[in-house]
Amino acid sequence: MTVLAPETTIPPISAALAGRMRAIVGERNCIVESADLRTYESDGLTSFHATPGIVVLPSSTEEVVSIVRIAREAGLPIVPRGAGTGLSGGALPVAGCVVIGMARMRGILEIDLENGWMRVQPGVINLDVSKRLSPDGYYYAPDPSSQSVCTIGGNVAENSGGAHCLKYGFTVNHVLGARLVLGDGEVVDLGGPVADTPGYDLLGVLTGSEGMLGIVTEVVLRILRKPQATRTFLAIFPSTEQAGNAVSAIISGGIIPAAIEMMDRLAIVAAKAATGIDWPDVGAVLLMDVDGPLAEVEHTSAQSIEMCREAGALEIRRPKDEDERAMLWKGRKSAFAAVGRISPNYVVQDGVIPRSEIARVLKEIETLSKESGLRIANVFHAGDGNLHPLVLYDAKIPGQEKLAEETAGEILRICLRFGGSITGEHGVGADKAPYMAEMFSESDLETMSRIRCAFDPEARFNPGKVFPTPRLCGDRPGIYRPHPTEVLGLADRV
């Protein structure tokens, strides 16, 4: 386990400072006891840990502003946090920092069905948005596998995706506006409930910025009408190569499925153990949704099934009702957690490749698995080439955790070698910062840093994330600017 060393340049949280924050949010919403702080030591990427100095849970924009100003006066870094479900260490505290948790800001503030938008606070659970809209025939499209627990604020920070983002786009395509608290406590509104706003796309810059620009306290979301019809089928293949060929055929044939997901043999074994689904022991399965007008759906679904058969599908399963459809998707969406049934520990990775390279990349990953001696399960959004390999290991065996982390890093390098990216939807955070320089040039990274500095000149929000080396915000004395590899203990992982 990688344990973060305390950062000695951070002033300690005094009783007086804690008292000022407690006066703003209330006794129960200001956490300082060491045992309670441990809840916030990591996000879903549990190989990194650091203890914050204090956790504050505001309930309004005004309370966030007050906390930010106090933290700034005290010279403390600030780490925003949603539900803590992230998988890149993005919500990882800096030792001794102020964590501002958004869990209490769960209000749905306004809904405008006629114009297709709603305004929410950042702590609203992703799935709860669609639940609220469902009786009126609307829904919110981005659907991460963790959608039953992850929050809208976290989705904005990471530009989260999901199975159905192949057709409908990522979070950035569904955020119309945001209210943002900057490092000096100023509140700004970006965008709004209109299709397009004039000027620079600052909202696009904010979405996916991983909490480094400020704290989002309200979000205006684009909402969609439910499609007239949806058809789902499961295609069963003897190998991932044949499944990958089917994906290429479907997309190149002009069909844009709502979702097309692939799982390999090891992932299928895990899902069966966790959910009891009756999938056969085969090389791969594709789970596909087609939605839209009924006539189009019937036509494209039939075309896609025929393409799967031509690619070598052994069997096609079509659910007879919504319960069977839900069970198919349960098998897919439980995949990450399900791997815990077949391995005591695992590393979840996230990279992107051109979908035409799926078969070749999976062969490379298989070779890497044999060389490392570690099993690797593959679950991914096949339509847009977003891989989610899971590297299985046993932390009780000396050296296996480090080997698993190195293997996961090598998978990212494979993605880059085939013209892909080190992240599709999980973000860079602490985990992938060492690989940024392998994807971007020095001038690229400097440009990113200058954009960050325009929002947060003191680099106070979520420091030590994303950038692999210290970045520019001016050589001003007294500004908290730790070296990421020192603060995050990443030096031995490069």
pLDDT of the chain, 494 residues: tens digit per residue = 333 333 446 788 999 999 999 999 999 999 999 999 999 999 987 778 899 999 999 999 999 999 999 999 999 999 999 999 999 999 999 999 999 999 999 999 999 999 999 999 999 999 999 999 999 999 999 999 899 999 999 999 999 999 999 999 999 999 999 999 999 999 999 999 977 777 889 999 999 999 999 999 999 999 999 999 999 999 999 999 999 999 999 999 999 999 999 999 999 999 999 998 999 999 999 999 999 999 999 999 999 999 999 999 999 999 999 999 999 999 998 888 899 999 999 999 999 999 889 989 999 999 999 999 999 999 999 999 999 999 999 999 999 999 999 999 999 999 999 999 999 999 999 999 999 999 999 999 999 999 999 999 999 999 999 998 655 554 333 333 343 333 443 333 32
Cα separation of 425 and 104, whole Å? 25
Cα separation of 41 and 50, whole Å? 5
Residue ending a domain, among 392, 417, 442, is 417
240 and 343 inside one domain? yes
> Residue 24 is which amino acid?
I
**DSSP β-ladder status, 215-222 and 386-393:** unpaired
* CATH number, domain containing residue 116: 3.30.465.10
Residue 60 CB-density burial (10 A; 0-12 exposed, 13-18 middle, 19+ buried): middle
324 and 454 inside one domain? no
Range of the domain at 56: 2-101
> For residue 70, is it within any domain?
yes
- pTM exceeds 0.85, yes or no: yes
469 and 381 inside one domain? no
Residue ending a domain, among 101, 129, 152, is 101
Eight-class DSSP state of 201: -
236 and 384 inside one domain? yes
E-only strand ranges, 223-296:
224-225, 229-237, 259-264, 284-292
Q: What angle do CA 46, 47, 50 make, to 5 degrees?
A: 80
SS3 469: coil
302 and 162 inside one domain? no
Residue 188 contacts residue 203 (beta carbons within 8 Å): no
Residue ending a domain, among 175, 197, 225, is 225
* CATH number, domain containing residue 275: 3.40.462.10
174 and 192 inside one domain? yes
Query: How are the residues of the chain apportioned to helix, strand and coil, as percentages rounded to the nearest 5?
Result: 40, 20, 40
> For residue 426, is it within any domain?
no
> Residue 190 is which amino acid?
L
Cα separation of 469 and 494, whole Å? 12
> For residue 352, is it within any domain?
yes
> Residue 303 is which amino acid?
Q
Q: What is the pLDDT of residue 328?
A: 94
* Of residues 58, 51, 66, the one with CA closest to residue 10: 51
Token pair listed for 349: 């990775």
* Number of domains, the chain: 4
> For residue 407, is it within any domain?
yes
Q: How far is CA 267 from CA 77, 289, 392, 431, in A?
A: 40, 20, 11, 23
> For residue 424, is it within any domain?
no
* Of residues 212, 218, 93, the one with CA closest to residue 457: 212
66 and 117 inside one domain? no
Cα separation of 294 and 299, whole Å? 9
Residue 176 contacts residue 115 (beta carbons within 8 Å): no
Q: What is the pLDDT of residue 25?
A: 98
463 and 351 inside one domain? no
> For residue 41, is it within any domain?
yes
* CATH number, domain containing residue 39: 3.30.43.10
What does the chain come to in residues? 494
90 and 148 inside one domain? no
164 and 218 inside one domain? yes
* Of residues 134, 94, 114, 105, the one with CA closest to residue 13: 94
Token pair listed for 397: 């065996």
How does 243-272 read in b/e, with b if 16+ C-beta sit within 10 Å? bbbbbbbbbeeebebbbbbbbbbbbbbbbb
| Phi, psi (deg, nearest 5) at residue 139 | -160, 170
For 433, what's the count of Cα atoms within 13 Å in the CB-facing half-sphere?
26
> For residue 260, is it within any domain?
yes
> For residue 326, is it within any domain?
yes
220 and 235 inside one domain? no
140 and 125 inside one domain? yes
Token pair listed for 386: 């977003």
